[in-house]
Structure 1
Amino acid sequence: MKPNFSVNTAPKRSDEPIWWSLFGAGGTWFAMVTPVTILVLGVLIPLGVIDSEALDYQRVKGFSSSLIGGLFIIATLALPMWHAMHRIHHGMHDLKIHAGLTGKIACYAFAGLVSVLAVIFIIML
């Protein structure tokens, strides 16, 4: 007897790969870059291990005005937000709070808003 396997030749397109890629990028950034940033800015400089003159206004403004610095700041603000909003969206479903499409739009719109504001912040410098 031959098994009856049918292949769907016209599967429904999903937008999940977009959200999962932003979720993964945000989680990776948050796990690898954010702790180092917190260590340097929140511990080593206040303790005097790194000279605070290294982060005077002109140097920080110069860094944030450069392409690499601007992208770093945008990624530091935006990517973890995409990770968090994706986690909240799926966490609500796990907690049996079915917000549906409205919840999805709210979560991702908020992450998008933070991303746009980060870009505007860098452009305005």
Structure 2
Amino acid sequence: MVYLFQFAILLLFWLLGEGLSLLLDSVILIPGPILGMLLLFFALSLGIVKEKQIQETSDFLLNNIAFFFIPASIGVMSIFTSQLIVLIIIGIIATIITMMTTMFVTQFLTKGER
């Protein structure tokens, strides 16, 4: 039950951030989760919310943060696989340019030492 209460506090700040983002949409574009984190930061700084009130759930979420990147990683991979040949060609060309630039700079700098 403690975890649900702590999670509800975190969700409350997320929802407040989303609402504030909708209100400020015409003025400045800041994502709701970012505003929610800022609100939570200020609430923690001012002592409105105590660290103990969200500690266990926050620790659990931070310890398992890698799982939250799986959907985003799959989305990025699906974009890359459709352009795989172009990305490989760009990688090869960039590597060749970098190697040649390094070679010419090294030769230029070592000429003065001989």
More helix by share: 2
When the two structures are superposed, what TM-score results if normalisation uses the length of structure 1? 0.30
Larger Rg: 2
Question: Taking CA–CA contacts closer than 8 Å with sequence separation of 6 or more, which of the two structures ends up with the larger relative contact order?
Answer: 1
When the two structures are superposed, what TM-score results if normalisation uses the length of structure 2? 0.32
